[in-house]
Amino acid sequence: MFGNVFAVTVILLWFVVVGGVGYAMYFMGRAAYRQLRHNFRHDVEQERRGRPDLR
């Protein structure tokens, strides 16, 4: 009986940890993707104006 409760608790904790890590990775990945897309658009606009990117 006690072992069963322990197993259920471990499984629930595992789901919470995996869900938290997955959500954090998704959130960070979305922010990084937006930043990369913004930088790419900025570079394209600089090239269209004919001015070299001074980074």
Q: Does the pLDDT of residue 3 top 70, yes or no?
A: yes
Q: Give the per-residue pLDDT at 10.
A: 95
Q: Which residues in 2-26 are b (16+ Cβ under 10 Å) and which e?
A: eeeeeeeeeeeeeeeeeeeeeeeee
pLDDT digits over 22-49, tens only? 999 999 999 999 998 888 888 878 777 7
Q: Give the per-residue pLDDT at 53.
A: 54
Q: Give the per-residue pLDDT at 49.
A: 74
Residue reference for tokens 């897309």: 37
pTM of the model: 0.48
Q: Give the per-residue pLDDT at 1.
A: 67
Q: Give the per-residue pLDDT at 54.
A: 57
